[in-house]
Amino acid sequence: MTTTSAASKAQLRLASLSAQLDISARDPISSVLETSLPPVQLNRDALSVLLDGEDQTWRNWMFDQMKHPLFEYQYNVTKEELVTRNQERTRHLASLGFRPTWAETKENNDLAKKYDQSNKFIQIQDAMSYFDNGFSTLNGAHYGLYYGSIRELGSEALQDKWLPLADTFEVPGCFALTELGHGSNPRGIETEAHWDIKEGCYIINTPNTTAQKYWIGAAAETAYMSVVWAQLFVPHPKDPTRSIHKGIHAFLVPIRDLTTRAPLAGVTIRNCGTKSGLNGVDNGRLWFDHVRVPRHMCLDKYGGVNEQGEYESIFESKEQRFGGQLVNLSEGRVGLSISSNNISKTALTIAIRYGKSRRQFGARAVGELETLIMDYKLHQRRLYPLLAQTYAQHFAARALAVLRDGDKSDFSLLKHFHIISSGLKSLHTWHLLDTLQATREACGGQGLKASNRIGQMKADCDVMATYE
């Protein structure tokens, strides 16, 4: 071997190693892969249609928005900077009309157009999850849980007043269900709401330490309003000194002054502090000290006190009412099933691309190319089954989305939907955690590098197996 040819091969090897140092799902890597394996003959357009349908207008629109400087991937910033950046991103998208407004939804009686509006938002939310779980979670908390609760459970007057302000993210909100003492068992929450006959209002109160609202996304810094869930008690019609328990109800409660941003009287807000991940979401704690809430601020579609001061409900039992009220959580699990699977796709994309460029062992002589690690059966067995399961889960999540978009007035389907959405959400998030660990290991030392994203995704996504 001549000195020139050896030097040339050494330069090629150094160039290959250099290219391997920063391979993420967003980086152009064609130059790296051109020197590895022949390209697979695959109709990518047909596969894209099979996976995501023919109309991908808004998904592609969201991917284009990610080229904006606001969406530049950052990994060496404080949690305060992360929270502020996610707020700015959300306001930016809201200014571009990234979702159908309440006015558009309310005035549109054409079912086909309503489907188009819903499909637009779903595509955009879908694309968000590939980018940043903190950003996606903030949007889900505000537009999915807070906004969705008012849309599904609130009166027309409440919707007309507060949803336009939520559309623009001018008045962000949060969803306060989980408490220090109760997370997985929402029926056991201890926050109380008492109907005051004399004043004609509800009184929201945190009776003890374990009743404080905890881990509430967007409560610590972002939200001005909160959908607060509490156990409702109304006076006994024959003996006002006694109370009748009516089960869990939701109330729209202002928590911050719209001008000064200071907590309102009777409301205490604290930050949950730095977390092991997902620090782009400002999780907070809330206490209520006998906060008075007007009667019309109860989200009373399924039950509440009427103008005559009497409790009424379309359901006979607390259990039925509870199931109808929390349909938004089941819908949220659909989003989590989809987004967790999308994050699995991102991690697998990074790891498989790296495996098709990284070479180790197998050279028969000095200067010869070593074997691509993706050619080793052990490496394939580590990643390909995860890839296959991710494809299968993709179609399962899409089928679940069809069920979600069905007739919400058919309450006989709610239990069925709840069971399936809970099961798939668990399956998909467990699969995500397994995938992130496997892909981190499959990338060797490069899997630890922050700019290659997998480590940060592990930190930000670990909680997905816990919430909802």
Which of 147-156, 208-217, 428-437 comes out lowest in average pLDDT? 147-156
What's the pLDDT at 275?
A: 96
What are the residue boundaries of the structural domains of the chain, listed by start?
A: 18-52+328-465, 57-167, 173-316
pLDDT at 92 over 80: yes
What residue type is assigned to position 366 of the chain? Answer: V
- Average pLDDT value for the chain: 89
Residue 217 — very low, low, confident or very high, per pLDDT cuts 50/70/90?
Answer: very high
Share of the chain above pLDDT 70, in %: 87
pLDDT at 258 over 70: yes
CA distances from 372 to 250, 354, 381, 387, 448 (A): 57, 10, 15, 19, 20
What's the pLDDT at 187?
A: 94
pLDDT at 371 over 50: yes
Q: At what angle do helices 327-355 and 318-325 cross, to 10 degrees?
A: 40
What's the pLDDT at 383?
A: 98
More confident residue, 98 or 39: 98
Residue 120 — very low, low, confident or very high, per pLDDT cuts 50/70/90?
Answer: confident
Q: How many helices (H) and strands (E) does the chain have?
A: 15, 11
For residue range 289-315, what is the model confidence (pLDDT) as tens digits?
999 999 999 999 999 999 999 999 998
Which among 253, 243, 245 is positioned nearest to 290, based on CA atoms?
253
Average pLDDT estimate for 75-87: 94
- Strands of 163-277 (E only): list them: 173-176, 192-196, 201-205, 213-217, 225-235, 243-254, 267-271
Residue 38 — very low, low, confident or very high, per pLDDT cuts 50/70/90?
Answer: low
What's the pLDDT at 78?
A: 94
pLDDT at 330 over 80: yes
**Cross-sheet strand order for the sheet of 283-288:** 213-217, 283-288, 267-271
CB 292 within 8 A of CB 202: yes
What's the pLDDT at 75?
A: 84
**Out of 3.30.9.10, 3.30.1490.20, 2.40.110.10, 3.20.20.70, which CATH number does the structure's domain 173-316 have?**
2.40.110.10
Query: What is the C-alpha separation between 337 and 465, in angstroms, rounded?
Result: 10
Residue 28 — very low, low, confident or very high, per pLDDT cuts 50/70/90?
Answer: very low
Kindly give the residue spans of alpha helices, DSSP state H, lying in 41-191.
44-52, 57-65, 79-95, 102-107, 111-131, 133-139, 147-153, 156-167
More confident residue, 1 or 224: 224
Query: What is the C-alpha separation between 78 and 280, in angstroms, rounded?
Result: 9
CA distances from 196 to 199, 200, 300, 309 (A): 6, 6, 16, 9
Average pLDDT estimate for 356-365: 90
More confident residue, 19 or 141: 141
Which among 434, 422, 426, 354 is positioned nearest to 387, based on CA atoms?
434
What's the pLDDT at 413?
A: 78
345 alpha-carbon distance from chain centroid: 16
What residue type is assigned to position 406 of the chain? Answer: G
Would you please indicate which residues are annotated as catalytic (active-site) residues? 468
What's the pLDDT at 27?
A: 45
What's the pLDDT at 26?
A: 45
What's the pLDDT at 31?
A: 43
What's the pLDDT at 121?
A: 76
Average pLDDT estimate for 38-64: 88
Buried b / exposed e along 295-307 (16+ C-beta atoms within 10 A): bebbbbbbbbbee
pLDDT at 39 over 90: no
- Classify 18-52+328-465 by CATH class: mainly alpha
* Structure token digits, residue 461: 């996504």
What's the pLDDT at 12?
A: 60
- Classify 57-167 by CATH class: mainly alpha
Average pLDDT estimate for 442-465: 96
Collapse the DSSP code of 254 into the 3-class scheme (helix H, G, I; strand E, B; otherwise coil) and give the result.
strand
Residue 241 — very low, low, confident or very high, per pLDDT cuts 50/70/90?
Answer: confident
Strand partners, 267: 288
Average pLDDT estimate for 116-125: 74
Query: What is the C-alpha separation between 336 and 329, in angstroms, rounded?
Result: 10
Cα–Cα–Cα angle for 65, 66, 72, rounded to 5 degrees: 140
462 alpha-carbon distance from chain centroid: 13
What's the pLDDT at 263?
A: 99
